[in-house]
Structures are given as C-alpha cells and as structure tokens.
C-alpha cells in the first residue's frame, strides 16, 4: 500500500491536481493522467488496482500503463511525497521486485 506524506495537500483544478508541500511551500502541477494516479494513491488503492483502472479508463495496453504508473510512483517516492507501507501480507507488483533499504 502506498501512503501520501502528511505534509502533502492536493487541490483539484480544471487541468489536474496541484500538490502543495506544507513544509517547503513548493507546488507541483499534475496533468490529468498523473492526477488520476494520484487520486487512487490518495484513496489507498493498490498498484494493481491503479493499473487496471487506468487501463480501463484509457483503453491503453496494461503493460504500458503498468510502466507509466510505476514511473510516476517511483518519482513521487524519490521526492518523499509517497511511501510504500508494507504490512504482514505478501505484496506483489506484477513481475516487479521491491527492495527495502533501512
């Protein structure tokens, strides 16, 4: 499960969502596809659920969607906007491998 950082607030607009970092006062504008992914992340959707929903909404190849969703999430994780919460249940990322570093 992915978790949005507490210091990140999102505001929807006509062309997508704007993210506000309350600690740094930086903003980031998301296009409509990124906003779709973001909303699902914010709602607690799994990676697989996000890929399936986006593939259905866009009628695009799920393999391409999977890559694009992962790239977006990876980018958000690198910025500290989203973290991966691992619980006791085993998690799978459709052929991907996650390495946890402490």
pLDDT at position 91 over 80: no
| pLDDT band at 33; cut points 50, 70, 90 | very high
Supply the pLDDT for residue 87.
65
What architecture is the 2-84 domain classified under in CATH?
Orthogonal Bundle (1.10)
This prediction has a pTM of 0.80
User: Mind listing the pLDDT tens digit for each residue in 49-78?
Assistant: 999 999 999 999 999 999 999 999 999 999
Integer Cα distance of 29 and 76 in angstroms: 13
Q: What whole-number percentage of the chain has pLDDT above 90?
A: 74
Nearest one of 79, 88, 73, 87 to 42, comparing CA atoms: 73
Integer Cα distance of 71 and 7 in angstroms: 22
């Amino acid at each position: 499960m992915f978790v949005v950082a507490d210091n990140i607030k999102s505001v929807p607009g006509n062309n997508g969502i704007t993210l506000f970092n309350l600690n740094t006062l930086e903003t980031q504008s998301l296009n409509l596809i990124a906003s779709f992914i973001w909303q699902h992340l914010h709602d607690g959707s799994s990676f697989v659920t996000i890929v399936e929903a986006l593939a259905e909404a866009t009628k695009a190849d799920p393999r391409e969607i999977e890559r694009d969703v992962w790239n977006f999430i990876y980018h958000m994780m690198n910025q500290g906007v989203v973290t991966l919460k691992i619980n006791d249940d085993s998690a799978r990322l459709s052929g991907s491998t996650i390495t946890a570093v402490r």
